[in-house]
Amino acid sequence: MSEQYENLVRILGNDIHGELNMLIGLNQIKGIGYMFANSMLQVLKISPHQKIGNLTTEQISSIEKIIENPKAADFPTWFLNRRQDILTGEDLHFVTSDIAFNIRNDIEREKNLFSWRGYRHMYGLKVRGQRTRCTGRKGGAVGVAKGGKVLPKGGAGAPAGGGAVVEGEAAPAADGTAPAADAKPAADAKPAAAEKKE
């Protein structure tokens, strides 16, 4: 363990806070899990309980070499996250932005092949055979969408034309056509309350 302490340690383009333990700090790198980090520290004879800020430059470079090529350090193939790559056929291990890049390429390849998985990706549905009846309701439409409330037609309290009549405006005709724009109520029309009194 070195006497020099760094507040920020940069490993493969990732800034890791120096006060974190080795295992927790290495987990900050996307593609490095707990087991991978623990095995890597055992190979390099580094204590997993020391602070990551106490690493020397030689130790940092050796960690980067193992992450870039874990097969050179005799890591088993089941540790790797890209076995039998479709382009090269080799067992690889991707970290950081390479993971998202290759996942995006895999999805685009499925779409271009018009495979069933590609269709599911296109429509935003579940790809791996999960049930969709009661889960995954957000996103792609699976069931029938519920409609709004239906207004009554010609019932009690509803106007004959189906729409509300605003005071001062002409009512729509019985056949459903809209009244003329310049139509005005008749001058000799009396209110209904006055007719009942007479």
Query: What is the domain count for the chain?
Result: 1
> Who contacts 73 (Cβ-Cβ below 8 Å, separation ≥6)?
40, 43, 66
Q: Indicate the pTM of the whole model.
A: 0.59
Buried b (16+ CB within 10 A) or exposed e, 111-131: eeeeeeebebbeeeeeeeeee
Query: DSSP characters for 42-75?
Result: HHHT--TTSBGGG--HHHHHHHHHHHH-GGGGT-
164 falls within a domain? no
| 198 residues of the chain, pLDDT tens digit each | 556 888 889 998 889 998 999 999 999 999 999 999 999 999 999 998 899 998 999 999 999 999 998 888 888 888 898 989 888 888 899 999 999 999 999 999 999 999 999 999 999 899 999 998 888 887 655 556 666 676 677 655 555 555 555 555 555 555 656 555 555 555 555 555 555 555
Q: What is the CATH number of the domain that holds 58?
A: 1.10.8.50
14 falls within a domain? yes
Spatial separation of the C-alpha atoms in residues 49 and 63, rounded to whole Å = 16
